[in-house]
Amino acid sequence: MATVTIALNAVGDDATQRESKLVSAVNQYCVACHGEYGDSEGDVDLTRLTADSLTSDPELLKDLLHVLDTRAMPPEDEEQPSAELRAQLISELTPLLHAAARQSNMHRRTPLRRMNRFQYNNAVIDLFGLNCVVFTLPERAMRGYREYFDPASGKMPDSVLVGNRPLGKSQMIEPRLAGVAAFPQDLRAEHGYDNQADHLSLSPLLMDEFLKLGQSITESPDFRPQTVGIWNDFFVAPATDVDRNREVRRRLDWFLTRAFRRPADGALIDRYVRYADAKLQAGADFVVVMKSVAAATISSPRFLYLYDKEFQGEPGGSSKPVDDLNLASRLSFFLWGSIPDEELLTLAAEGTLSNPETLGQQIERMLKDKKLKRFCDSFPTQWLQLDRIVSSVPNGELFPSFYFAKYRLSMHMMLEPLLIFETVLVENLPITQLIDSDFTYRSAKLEEAYGELGNEPGESTGGGVTTLTYRRVPVTDRRAGGVITTAAAMTMTSGPERTKPITRGAWIAGVVFNDPPKPPPADVPPLAEKPSAEEANLTLRERLAAHRERSDCRGCHEQIDPLGFALENYDAIGRWRDTYENGLEIDASGQLFRQYKFDNVVDFKAAILADKDRFCRALAGHLLAFALARELGPADAAALDAITAAVSADGFKMQTLLRQVILSEPFRTKS
């Protein structure tokens, strides 16, 4: 230890010397497990670590930094480096990682990818100016009533009227195009979201379905002047004294530019004009012809795919700024889940969108637009994995309050964390409110279900089934507040009869720290829902202790178990309890990253927020992966550090975080 510390404190070290110091530390603390005579755990043999291998392997460098920062290594029962040495190693390795990423010459490429059906629905609405949806989307968890979402006001109302789509059939009834069926929902990627490129393929069968879908949209009986905002400008025949061919060309130039998100070239327009002219010359009705042209447009790969045109024919090279048209699409699909509007496209075509002042103004405009609701309808549900609550079925005998009439309480639970997220965004509150808020939104039914953590239910309006009234209420008891202790989170991470601390811990690790654990070994048996006779007088913590005995399980459990047991006072539907059914007292104490001790969930929230930068960086990683539709890599580390520093300097404001994600190098460059 002393030798390593002295070396680290040496003056005038260059990069090679710093790398050599790490090798010394690795030899002392790591090779017993990750070496020739150890198990080479995680398929990592650190005996091969050399000065040159560090900068040539950014992935390994990132992993080393991670285990040092989270104190995941060495294991608890092994010799530990001092806090000072650990901090010095992190300080030395961070610039090395940034340098290694720059040396590799590129970020992971923002890939060509197809729109998912959420984006397709929005894009078709915006392209045609529809005043209804194309098809109903169950993945949109919340249905809002009375236009409560107004980001320009900077304030969420004290009372909102909402409904739950996945858990209520009545929420599927809304103005939409008759005869149009949605294509299958794209599943979430294991490493991210449902917009990730490697999950958005286009088979010949699906391509055929898109062709049929385009036709079904324009041929719907609801696709008419009262529904389509561009009807008079695009579909109505021109006056007899107007040059029809020239007018068709003008309309198609505008329409194709909007649909394909870049100025349409002459050859492309010519193909569409020739088709339309041939049909019109044959005596076809003008509206019918333009509908068929529109159907072909929204079935075209140029419409369906998001891509950076300049990537074509460039097999490598260093990162360079995306052009303004690509930037416009990245902006609009990130914040609005749709194609750019005319203002964005005009600025992009002029080449002024990337101007820092102009870009800042457009970000502000987009954050105040009501289309920001689409971001709230997509990102937080997936970030928090709230779709899991749909399959939650607590035992009705143990938890009778979860069921009422033919409905489940989960339809009320699901909306609380979403409304908290929307409020933090609209009111530009610190992201720390997502962990420990001083407010929440509850329906009367949900207040009653929380028991001692609830407030006065108030008047139950809206029926409690189809439309739900949520009131904004102050949180003074820190056992409540924030998204991580909501009934939704607690219920979806529990089984039918008991809580699941390991599941809860894994959820916290993935959602809050963007560090999900690896899947457990296939031969690890699950813990029984009910304790055996021998386990009747054991706490759940004691019953789960066996899972830590296996060497291949120990490392993960040391990390995730404290996170899950911190929430153990919440039962399987989120109610507070102090003891188990057998009368034994619940122990929610633990240590976060072997650094922050806590005795209860209030201390646990404080422990998370003792290192706000860590949570900010994790949330930035989630947002950047969502924005770029790809998994992040070592080359993104420098950008995440820069985002975190800028957001920290501005009080961790939510809109600042979104703004800094957009201004980051990965968002604004191509590889």
CB contact burial 489-526 (16+ within 10 A = b; e otherwise): bbbbbbbeebbbbbbbbbbbbbbbbbbebeebeeeeee
One-character DSSP codes across 393-420: ---TTT-GGGEETTEETHHHHTHHHHHH
Contact of 559 with 592, CB cutoff 8 Å = no
Domain boundaries, the chain: 2-103, 113-135+176-306, 322-376, 381-529+539-609, 615-670
Provide the pLDDT for residue 456: 76
Provide the pLDDT for residue 3: 33
pLDDT-based confidence at 473, cuts 50/70/90? very high
First and final C-alpha spacing in the chain: 42
- For residue 392, give every residue at least 6 positions away whose Cβ sits within 8 Å of its Cβ, in sequence order, or none: 408, 410, 491, 492, 494
Provide the pLDDT for residue 62: 79
Contact of 611 with 619, CB cutoff 8 Å = no
User: Facing residues of 442 across strands?
Assistant: 471
**CA distance linking residue 265 with residue 249, whole number of Å:** 12
Q: Quick check: 577 pLDDT over 90?
A: yes
Contact of 413 with 486, CB cutoff 8 Å = yes
Proportion of the chain above pLDDT 70, given as a percent: 82
Provide the pLDDT for residue 95: 78
* Mean pLDDT for the stretch of residues 589-604: 93
**CA distance linking residue 404 with residue 213, whole number of Å:** 39
Q: Quick check: 453 pLDDT over 90?
A: yes
Candidate ranges 11-20, 51-60, 453-462, 623-632; pick with highest mean pLDDT:
623-632
Provide the pLDDT for residue 499: 95
- For residue 598, give every residue at least 6 positions away whose Cβ sits within 8 Å of its Cβ, in sequence order, or none: 566, 588, 589, 590, 591, 592, 604, 606, 607
The pLDDT tens digits for 385-443 are: 999 999 999 999 999 999 988 889 999 999 999 999 999 999 999 999 999 999 999 99
Contact of 670 with 311, CB cutoff 8 Å = yes
One-character DSSP codes across 18-38: HHHHHHHHHHHHTTTTSSTTS
Laid out side by side, the sheet with 439-442 consists of: 142-144, 159-164, 468-474, 439-442
The pLDDT tens digits for 252-291 are: 999 999 999 999 999 999 999 999 999 999 999 999 999 9
Amino acid type, 593: F
**74-83, 501-510, 571-580, 649-658: segment of lowest average pLDDT:** 74-83
User: Facing residues of 585 across strands?
Assistant: 579
- For residue 379, give every residue at least 6 positions away whose Cβ sits within 8 Å of its Cβ, in sequence order, or none: 193, 623, 626
Q: What is the CA radius of gyration of the chain?
A: 28
**CA distance linking residue 536 with residue 581, whole number of Å:** 10
**CA distance linking residue 649 with residue 646, whole number of Å:** 5
Q: Quick check: 537 pLDDT over 70?
A: no
The pLDDT tens digits for 610-637 are: 999 999 999 999 999 999 999 898 889 8
**CA distance linking residue 65 with residue 26, whole number of Å:** 12
**CA distance linking residue 235 with residue 289, whole number of Å:** 9
Tokens 């036709």, located at residue:
215
The pLDDT tens digits for 639-656 are: 999 999 999 999 999 999
The pLDDT tens digits for 122-150 are: 999 999 999 999 999 988 999 998 889 99
Contact of 238 with 247, CB cutoff 8 Å = yes
Provide the pLDDT for residue 8: 37
Q: Is the peptide bond before 74 cis (omega within 30 degrees of 0)?
A: yes
Candidate ranges 161-175, 492-506, 514-528; pick with highest mean pLDDT:
492-506
CA count, 13 A, side-chain hemisphere, 251: 27
Contact of 416 with 446, CB cutoff 8 Å = yes
* Mean pLDDT for the stretch of residues 527-535: 65
One-character DSSP codes across 429-445: -BGGGGTS-SEEEE-HH
Contact of 378 with 119, CB cutoff 8 Å = no
**H or E stretch including 490?**
helix 487-492
Provide the pLDDT for residue 517: 86
- DSSP helix/strand/coil, 463: strand
Comparing CA positions, the residue from 561, 573, 568 lying closest to residue 490 is: 573
Provide the pLDDT for residue 200: 83
**How far is residue 455 CA from its own chain's centroid?**
31
**CA distance linking residue 568 with residue 577, whole number of Å:** 9
The tokens describing 287, both together, are: 């509206």
User: Facing residues of 471 across strands?
Assistant: 159, 442
- pTM for this structure? 0.89
